[in-house]
Chain A
């Protein structure tokens, strides 16, 4: 309990302290026209991305809800993957499909149409949709499955036509769920630095985070970077505040099997469902598969330093995962017992801080004591652990509450406490969410391309940074090969932690 309070206070100090430090560093509060353009672009791309993701997720999740087909549960399971997929890999996949020499532009050229450029606003939105359409789909699928089956049966027994079922059963669910989903995805898109770094750029399509990065790394203008970071922090904090007032649906956990409602509408509705599911699957998996296939031949001709970068990435990912899981478990156990919610609130604080904002704060704070490139990896480890904390606490908290409800009084009445309780009750009963969360934290850290870009020197790159550097140098084949290694390593870490915990829980 005291440990959890100390952790919560530490997180609050780190985030609010960074913000205060940045506010102190900003020499002026006047935003340049370019900065205002960055604010506008940041908000526009996030709003468009959120709207597109949710609008598309409605027919896709509805089709997935009412159709049963071979591979359905595999598809739904895979839809959880983009959340933990390294940004650069997805960007590379989209570049492979929609890039200058990709199949889409080849087809356009064959038809004599002008080429399509993936760079700029629509490219950023496409990449954001790639990441968030699956998330929105899973969240909405939850909503659909939470409509009691009896109501569908009742509607059918009353011969309600599909339109009436939609109006009376499905629309109320959508109205309740979509605001929360929109806000969550808007928030995610506000901090999708890696996407704007690779697909945005230029004065017309620069996000705030990109502007922070440029003023810190290229202009070395700490005052301006601080000012921009404060603006970014304020926007995210405001959106987080709004999000905390809405009921947020759950899309990360498992348990999306459910019962098939006995209402598989026939005719054109069936065809429409098939089209939606196919399009979504194509949009999600074609870029990934393309990137992987493109990477295969390059494995024979890897650039220098891949092995060292892999070792760095794995070390940072494991450290970050261990730290994050430990902190999250401590916070979740305390929050599950505590009536007042401030530990939970502290655990959600990192949502308001993007990696770039925290990174800028730490960069300025630590500059007098250490050279940025010397502390790049420990800082990346720490920031990634803190940033993944809200997700892990949200994963663990319901399980911890459930455990307390089922076995809390039993453990207390038997006098089980302290280390014995942790070892014999808590860890075995929470093994699954702990393993899943540790895997998630490892994968998130493995794919991170945020804070590392602020600190890393020419040497000492992690795998995602290496991929980004190769994309920047237009060495696409090598980039694809390294990206393939990144995906495999990331997936292996996740699978090992998740599977290991399942095995442990089952014995």
Chain B
């Protein structure tokens, strides 16, 4: 279980507070205007931004002193998720051995993970030789190998078209189900969130609000969400 205990993040001219929990295995979307702090919150969970006050806990354990690589989390950034000079197999191997020492057993696991995301036989390619969608799949395969209980997605598929993005999110859902991971997805696209997230966090006006059931949130959007969506409030 992920707990944000009176968490406050501060950066230049920017302030965000959060105080809520997410149970294991839940898929949570984060939505809000750009600059509201969605990505900063994710970076704090991954260990790249230190809280100004408050704590981030995983199963009751404070993560403040845990290095990013040792956190129970895998993060996928907007881009640059693969090292361009390493092969896909080597990039995946980093999920098993940060020293990149590949054993026979690891090679088998990597092959299986590649097959799982539909990239069989592409292990020896460099990322540049893959399409954007395939690169996303490779990054997901590494997340599968790392099998950390918290999967953080910072709009990793933003550069893909809507159909491909939906396909990738479906794959994320499958991977998360297999590893029983809690997922936090940042997106600026309400359709992505609605299609993927069980619950949704609205990030606005300096606060990341507690997760609300996604369907309910979009059925009765609060003023800040209505302003973000910019539609005549879709009260169905």
Contacts and interface: CB of A to CB of B under 8 A. Distances in A.
A369 interface: no
A413 B68 contact: yes
Interface string A200-240: 00000000000000000000000000000000000000000
Most chain B CB within 10 A, of A406, A409, A425, is at A409
A472 B73 CA distance: 70
Contact of B68 (A407, A409, A425): A409
A505 B90 CA distance: 16
Interface string B61-92: 00000011111011101001101011000100
Contacts of A414: 69, 94-95, 98
Contacts of A417: 69, 98
Interface in B15-52: 43, 46-48
Contacts of A407: 80, 83
A505 B80 CA distance: 18
A-side binding surface: helix, strand, loop or mixed?
helix
A310 B71 CA distance: 56
Given A409-B48, A410-B83, A414-B94, A420 B100 contact: yes
Most chain A CB within 10 A, of B43, B74, B80, B98, is at B98
Interface in A393-437: 406-407, 409-410, 412-417, 420, 424-425, 428-429
A416 B80 contact: no
B232 interface: no
B99 interface: yes
A457 B168 CA distance: 72
Contact of A429 (B73, B81, B85, B99): B85
Interface size range on A against B: 10 to 19
A343 to B, nearest CB: 22
Interface size range on B against A: 20 to 34
A424 B68 contact: no
Most chain B CB within 10 A, of A406, A414, A424, is at A414
Contact of A413 (B75, B90, B99): B75
Contacts of A505: 85
B80 A424 contact: no
Interface string B114-136: 00000000000000000000000
B94 A428 contact: no
Contacts of B80: 406-407, 410
Nearest to A505: B85
Contacts of B73: 413
Contact of B69 (A406, A416, A424, A428): A416
Nearest to A414: B94
B70 A415 contact: yes
Nearest to A423: B100
Given A425-B83, A428-B85, A505-B85, A413 B100 contact: no
A406 B68 CA distance: 16
A505 B100 CA distance: 18
A417 B97 CA distance: 11
Given A420-B98, A420-B99, A420-B100, A413 B69 contact: yes
B99 A409 contact: no
B86 A415 contact: no
Contacts of A420: 98-100
Given A417-B69, A420-B99, A429-B85, A412 B48 contact: yes
Interface in A126-174: none
Contact of B98 (A409, A416, A429): A416
A416 B93 CA distance: 12
B161 to A, nearest CB: 24
Contacts of B43: 409
A429 B43 CA distance: 24
Given A406-B80, A407-B80, A420-B100, A413 B85 contact: no
A428 to B, nearest CB: 4
A424 B81 CA distance: 15
Contacts of B95: 414
A311 to B, nearest CB: 36
A479 B127 CA distance: 53
Contacts of A413: 46-48, 68-69, 71, 73-75
B46 to A, nearest CB: 6
A409 to B, nearest CB: 6
Nearest to A406: B80
Contact of A412 (B69, B90, B100): B69
Contacts of A415: 67-70, 98
Interface in A420-472: 420, 424-425, 428-429
A410 B85 CA distance: 14
Given A406-B80, A409-B68, A416 B85 contact: no
A410 B82 CA distance: 8
B111 to A, nearest CB: 20
Interface in B161-185: none
A410 B81 contact: yes
Contact of B86 (A406, A409, A412, A424): A424
User: Which 6 pairs from chain A and chain B are nearest by CB?
Assistant: A415-B69, A415-B98, A420-B99, A412-B68, A428-B85, A406-B80
6 contacts: A409-B46, A410-B83, A413-B48, A413-B74, A415-B68, A424-B100
Given A409-B68, A415-B70, A428-B83, 9 more contacts: A407-B80, A409-B77, A412-B68, A413-B47, A414-B94, A416-B98, A420-B98, A424-B90, A425-B83
